[in-house]
Every structure is written in structure tokens, then in C-alpha cells.
Structure 1
Amino acid sequence: MLLSSALAGSVVGVSAPASAQSVQASSLSAERLGRLTEMLQAYVDQGRIAGAVVKIQQDGRDVYSEAVGWRDKEARDPMREDTIFRIASQTKALTSVAAMMLMEEGKLLLDDPVGKHLPEWSKTNVAVARPDGGYDVVPAKRPITIRDLLTHSAGISYGSGPAEKAWRDAGIFGWYFADRKEPVASVVARMAALPMAAQPGEQFVYGYNTDILGVVVEKISGKTLAAFLDERLIRPLGMKDTSFFLPREKAARLATVYSAGAGALRRAADPGAWQNGHIGQGHYLNGPRVAHSGGAGLLSTAGDYSRFLEMLRRGGELDGRRYLSRKTVELMTADHLGAIPYNPGMGFGLGFSIREDVGVAGAPGSESEFGWGGAYHSQYWVDPQERLTISYMIQLIPAGDVDDVGKLRALLYQAVE
């Protein structure tokens, strides 16, 4: 286990500034954090996970950084801290930040209709299920907005809903784009004509929203999403192993995908296929390398993603460079759903789930914490109150009933002193 030098003693902490002496700075017990390593290693030994990487930072410094298990179990190649992972929906956070950068430049507003930037989205329809089966197609009550996309309240699913057959017949279903031989923009243009799953602004419907947002970023910037993210976020933040497709010279660092089965893990097929999710190693190395999915396309490492999270924790700045205004980050990490039903104790901001009530949410954490995860079972969150960022990287799809994420959260917060 690699721990920061500050952990040489029993705890790591930062003294409160003179202007805030009444606020006690939290610290983390190195001894108690060791329980996290024990749990993860036990899950490797029991065959519940093949391997994982966890990086926890406080005030931007490592307080826990650990690689456990195997990058490739069959080859007996151990997991390393610089192992590269498919981060799937953790891509959404970067695309959301990209859109907010354009807002700060005066190039879009949150309440802009999407059709202002993508004309085919000017008028949309909604599928309304009939009590006796089938569905009716009715006009949307209002235009879908940029805010709707950021909050997943546009009524746009990943193809499920009353009109699922129409979406499947159109070849548009599910989050996976890496095998497509056309840009995401082409798919997004076609999906505008399909019946949506709900009216804009009425329900939280998780789906293609951030892929559409990525196309908006491309249209406004005149660049591919890959180029925009690389120029504005990835390279400036020093995220040297973050990209949409894997450079061939890094192939030996890509984590193997496993699937939870009946009593044992199994190595996922290569490249795999769609089975209520794309189950397989994917097309990130040998695929077409054309579709830059703003919703689920990136590869990254725990270290790279922690750089991005630390920038957000610091209110949009890192190492003297400002990426977003502090007020923009505050806006992104506030609840925007209002009366729209969501998970108990939780809200949803502009790209992130927000913990609003610790007791109602029912798990250890802090109010104002924000985060999300990915289809391959990875998770991240930022806890501003405790000055923490957490990046948990793993490749397990489907994950079955493994409770590693819940225990990660419990074992992190039991170490807070």
C-alpha cells in the first residue's frame, strides 16, 4: 500500500486557518484506513472482484492510494496504480464541464432550447403508453433545453420506454458507442425524430442526454469533443492517460473486464456484445475509433481522474489555472430537479448526483457531496466538507450483488476523526 508521507503518524490532517479556528479540520486514521485494504484484498481472494485501484485525496494530497488484485487475472499480471480503465458514464462529468465552459464564454445559456444549436431538435415528440398496450405519439409540451440535458430531465432514455421497439429498429439503443463507424453527431441527429420516453422537465430519465450535450459542444466550438476536452481539460490538467480510445503503446496497461457469475468471476468476451449493457472488453483498442461519446466514452486512470475531481473540489481551479468560476461550480453542484422525483435524500445538479440529506440517503457521507459512476462499476465522489476526493476504478460488468462500493464508503468514513 502506498500512503502519503503525511501518514507516517497515526493520522493525517491540516490545521484550520487562523480565520476559521472554530472549525476543526478533519483527519483520517491510517490504521483505520487499513481496513479498506483488508476488505478489497479479501474480495480478490474470494473471487468477488479481480482487482481495483482506489485513490483518496484530502486537500489534494494522497491519503490512500492502493492497487489490489489483478489487471489480468489469467495472465497473473497485477493491478497497478497507473492501470487504465474504461470509465463509461464518468465521462459525463467532463462533458458537463465543457458545456459550462461555453456558458462562461457567452456561447450558450442553460435555458437555450437544444434546437437553437441542433436544429433537428427544435420539435420533438413523446411516446405515451396506452392502458391497453401500445402507445400514442404526442408533441412535446415544450422544447428540450440545455439544462434538461445536464439534469437528465429531458425525457430522453437509452432507448427504453413505450417506443422501445422504434428505437431498437432505428439501431439506437444503449449507452455503448465505441463499435460505431459513424460520429455520435450522426446518431444524435437521427434520434431527434424518435418518440421520447417522457415530457421535458417532468421526470428524471437517464439516457443519451450527455451524448447530445457533447454534440452541442462540438457544434458551438467547431471541434470534435475529443479535441475540445483534450485542449481545455485533459492536457492542461495533466491527465496524460485519459482519452476516448487507447493508444496502442498503452495496450498492456488496460484493465481486463470481468463479469460476476454464479459463484465465480468470468473473463468477458473480446470485444463482446450487447446484453442489457455492452458486456465485453470493448472496441477501445481495435475498434473504428470514430464515435466520441460524451456520455460514456472515455478511458482514464485513478490518478488522472483525481486531478479532475480536485479541480472541482477547489471551485474550478488547480495549480494556478482556472477552468471554471467558483460560482459556476456552485451552480453545477446544487440540486436542479426541484419537485422532480429522485432518490431519497439525493438531488441532481448539472452533471452530478448531489447528497442533500445524509440521514434520508441512508449511507455515510456528507451533505453537499457530489459524484457519479460508470457502467463498469467504477465510482467517484467529491466531499467538500471533508475536503476529500475519491476515485474507485474497477472493471466489473455486470457486477452482480457485490457490495464493494458500499463498503468502500463505510470504511472511508469510519476513518474520519
Structure 2
Amino acid sequence: MGNPPLPRLFGIDTNQQTTQPMKTLDFFSDLFSDLRSCPLLFLTICIVSLSGLHSQDLKTADPQALGFSAERLERLDRAFDQYVAAGELPGGLILVARRDQVAYYRAFGHRDLESGAPMPENALFRIASQTKAIVSVGILLLQEEGRLLIQDPLSKYIPEFAETIVAINDDDGYREEPARRPITLRDLLTHTSGIGYGWGPAQEKWEEAGIMGWYFADREEPILETVRRIASLPMSAHPGEKTVYGYSTDILGAVIEVVSGQSLDVFLRERVFEPLGMEDTFFYVPPDKVGRLATVYNPQEGGGLKRAPDGAGMNTQGNYVKGPRKSFSGGAGLVSTAADYYRFLQMMENRGSYNGKQLLSPRTVDLMTVNHLGENVAYSAGRGFGLGFEVVTDMGRHGTYGSEGSYRWGGAYHSTYWVDPAEELIVVYFTQVRPNARVPDHALLRNLVYQALVD
């Protein structure tokens, strides 16, 4: 394993399988008892403990007790260390958990290659489209409260979408025609709204409007204002007829603002992050946490990595630190840690429950994690799409490890995650490479996790 056994501290065996997370007050009670005679040492250890306590309060267990071979898990170490040594990945973090306990949690490589700073376990990563799952949960929270229905037309909340147009390719380029039916919130959740990222038949109109790609952190306007301008642009398909990946979840973020009366950042903090203990998840990095933000790298032609330039845009470091902090992108805006995102996925895997709190109804989680695409809507072989998640529907056609009913997604900076309820398995993988690296690390990760299961 990449992490050595933790020492026995203050009467607590940290290598024992734990069924309850260490409580902060219990920890410091032991600290006071053991160190009251040594003030200087006491102060030093307090500072160190406080800096890492949040990332260390996850439940952990011996991998073998969770059905893993420790020897086989070590193959993860070798494979990802080799990617770093070859200059294909700067560094990253892998978290593998089963039955609500972490079996493997390892940072590898560097947070920043130029300085040589190693990747810490509490590093912050731009999670881009992994924001979508969290915002989708926000919409379902509002449905559970009776404040909206996912069958509702989008125009009920943003009237500018009452009548939309669609661009259709033809011999002369494209023609425009009225949408055959209104866009619904369910269309947005399943990416069948017909709204892309601007790369469609009417691309020049999207470019003229200044709305292209998924990046919003540099915008000086609230997300709702951007979304209202999207309504007048030609869409790429008729609602419900095709999967088109794009601004659908950004629009859902704007719907949350309209329905809740709160900005998206406040709503998510109060309704999702605080209940789940996600203390390191933000749209913009707080000044006192900037030193933990992993650096973005661009793959170079011929091999190797180069630090992405500063500034705004999709292949840069982005404005997640110095941005205007006005646009909260529900489709791609969040920064988080592996431990925080794992807490969110724990809630989903436990059918809406986390640490005794029922954030979502179990039936809501069931609804979100089944395929909602009709047979007439094309998608990848063996997979469909639920309400915010890609879902495995056919193992044979999917063609790789996993289980039917498992769900996943990823982000533009090359991060990914998946949940396999049948195996009670959660995997989080964060790195920062844009555009995506040449290496098949996502597929390799999946293979190496499942081959390590031996029960």
C-alpha cells in the first residue's frame, strides 16, 4: 500500500478497523491528558492535528476485512507512480472505499511540478462536470419539498424558454425551426434538452453571444443572466430526441436560484455541503486554502507536461482563485477534495443517508440512478443516463468491470468517480490534466480496483 500504517496515538490504535469516525472532542481530550505536562509539544501537535483532522476522520479498515487483497491493491501504487515517472501525469489522488470504509487512500506525484510540492491528501481539485451530480441532487431536494416537479416545463421558472428554436443541418448549412415541445427539467437532468456547449449547427451565433464551452469562472454576470441569453440561441436538437451534452446543468443551477431565492453557492452550502461535512468544496477557493490547489498541466506533443498558463479559459489555471466570484456554474464550477466528494457519494450509495442524516429519500436516489433514456435515444453501448449520472444497463455490452446499476461521471480536468451499489464500492480519482492525458488511466484504474476484490 502507498500509505504506511498510522502510529498508535494517545491510547488510540489508528490501524484498528473503526465503526465510528473519531470525534474531535474525544481526540483533544486524549491530547490534553497525555500532553498537559509539555506545553510546547502540545502546541506543535495541536497545529499539525488540526491541519489534517478533517481529511483523517473518514472511517478506515484493513483492506482484507473489506474483501480486497492488499497485495493486489499495491498494483495501483506501481501503475500510477510509473505514469508520474514517465511525465504523463503530474500527480493525483485515489480513494477506494467499500461498505462505508476506506480501503485505499493515496496521494501520488506532485501538487505542483515546478516547486516539487508533493500531492497532499487534502489537495483541492477543479472537479468541473462532477459539479453536475451535486446540482442534480439540489433539484431533487426541491422536488421532495414540493417546490418543483422534474416534469415541469423549464419556462415555468425561466420564462425566456417558453418558445425555443432548433438548428437543423441541411444542404445550405442549417435551417431554424421551432422546438417540437417545451424543454422540461427532466430533459435537463438527462441531457436530452438539445442544448449543447455551442458547438452545433449554429455555432457562429453562440460565438457572437459569447457563450461557448463550459467555463464560467471569469464571468462578471450571475449565471441566471447568462442562462436567459441562452434561451434565444438555436439549440442542437429537439427536446427529448437526442442526448446533447452541454449547458443543461448550468440551467438547472439557475432554476435552483429562482425556486430557492438563494444564490447557488449559498443553497448548496446550506443544503448539501454542511449536512455532509463537505468543508472543502467551493465555487472559488478561499484565500487561506489557495496553497492546497493542485496545478493544472497541459500534455505536450511528443510527451511530457507543461504548466497550463494563468488566466481564464478551459485549458488554463482558470479564475477559481481570482475570479469575479459572480457566476456559479452548476455544470462545471466546483473545486473540491477527494474526501469531500467521497462523502457526497457515500450519501448516494447509502440511498440518501449520511451519518444518520437523511438528505434524500431512498426512493429519490433510486429514481436518479436508473436509466431514463428511451429506446429511441442513442447513447453508449450498455449504458444509459439517469438524473445526473451515467448508468450501466448491460454488463456485456458495457464490456468492462463493474455491475449493472453502477453509476459514474467525470470532469474536464481528467477526474472521475463511480459508485457500484452491488459491490458497495465507491472510487474517487482526481488529477489535473487538460486536455485529457494520452494515457488510459481511467480504464486502468477500474481494472486494478476490481482485480483487487477477492471475496
TM range (shorter): over 0.9
1:239-278 deviation per Cα after TM superposition (whole angstroms, max 9, x unaligned): 11100000011111000000111211111001254xxxx1
CA deviation map 1:162-187 (0-9, x unaligned): 10110111101110000101111111
Q: Distance in 1 between matches of 2:427 and 2:69?
A: 16
Per-residue CA shift, 1:260-300, capped at 9, x if unaligned? Answer: 11211111001254xxxx10110000111110000000000
Matched, 1:414 2:414: no
Question: Alpha-carbon deviations, 1:322-367, whole Å to 9, x = none?
Answer: 1110000000000001211000000100000001112211111111
What's 2:64 paired with?
11
Task: Identify which of 61, 65, 79 aligns with 2:119.
Answer: 79
Give the structure-1-normalised TM-score: 0.94
Match of 1:196 in 2: 235
Moved more, 1-10 or 402-411: 1-10
Q: Is 1:298 aligned to residue 334 of structure 2?
A: yes
CA distance in 1, matches of 2:135, 2:62: 40
The aligned counterpart of 1:17 is none
Q: 2:32 aligns to what?
A: none
Q: What SS does the corresponding residue of 2:339 show, helix, strand or coil?
A: helix
Does the alignment pair 1:112 with 2:112? Answer: no
1:261–1:400 Cα contact (<8 Å) kept: no
Give unmatched runs, 5+ long, in structure 2.
Answer: 6-14, 18-59
How much has 1:85 moved relative to structure 2?
0.3
Counterpart code for 1:44:
V
Runs of 4+ in 1 over 6 A off after TM superposition: 7-10
For residues 125 and 278 of structure 2, the distance between their equivalents in structure 1, rounded to whole angstroms, comes to 13
Q: Hey, what does 1:364 align to over in structure 2?
A: 401
2:108 is paired with a residue whose SS is strand
Quote how far apart the aligned CAs of 1:382 are.
0.6
Name the counterpart of 1:287. Answer: 323
| 1:376 partnered with 2:429 | no
Q: Which deviations, in whole Å up to 9, do the C-alpha atoms of 1:190-232 show, x marking residues without a partner?
A: 1101110000000000000000000001100000010000000
Q: Equivalents in 1 of 2:239, 2:70: separation in Å? A: 48
User: Following the alignment from structure 1 to structure 2, what is the Cα–Cα distance between the partners of residues 352 and 409?
Assistant: 17
* 1:53 corresponds to which of 73, 79, 93: 93
Local SS of the residue matching 2:426: strand
Q: Is the 8 A contact 1:155 1:203 kept in 2?
A: yes
Deviation of residue 12 (structure 1)?
Answer: 2.3
Does residue 271 of structure 2 align to residue 271 of structure 1? no
- Whether the aligned pair in 1 keeps the contact of 2:98 and 2:424 (CA below 8 Å) is yes
Partner of 1:404: 441
RMSD: 1.2
Identity, % of aligned positions: 50
Q: What residue in structure 1 maps to residue 214 of structure 2?
A: 175
Partner of 2:107 in structure 1? Answer: 67
Kept after mapping to 2: 8 A contact 1:10/1:31: no
Richer in helix (by share): 2
For residues 192-341 of structure 1, what are the structure 2 equivalents within 5 Å? 192-262=231-301, 263-273=303-313, 278-339=314-375, 340-341=377-378
Give the gaps of 5 or more residues in structure 1: 14-26
Amino acid at match of 2:308: A
Q: CA deviation at 1:10?
A: 6.9
CA distance in 2, matches of 1:350, 1:124: 23
Is 1:345 paired with 2:398? no
8 Å contact kept, 2:218–2:312: no
2-structure distance, mates of 1:359, 1:397: 31
Q: Normalising by structure 2, what TM-score?
A: 0.86
**1:117 to partner: Cα distance:** 0.9
Specify whether residues 103 and 8 from structure 1 end up closer, same or farther in structure 2 by C-alpha distance, changes over 3 A only. closer
CA contact (8 A) 2:61 2:103 kept: no
Match of 2:180 among 128, 138, 141: 141
Distance in 1 between residues matched to 2:237 and 2:184, nearest whole Å: 14
3-state DSSP of counterpart to 1:279: coil
1:133 positional shift: 2.9
One-letter amino acid of the structure 1 residue matched with residue 65 of structure 2: V
1:103 to 128, 143, 148: 143
How far apart, in 2, do the equivalents of 1:304 and 1:400 lie?
24
Quick check: 2:353–2:359 contact (8 Å CA) kept in 1?
yes
> 1:183 is matched by which residue type in structure 2?
P
Q: For residue 29 of structure 1, report the CA deviation from its aligned partner.
A: 1.1
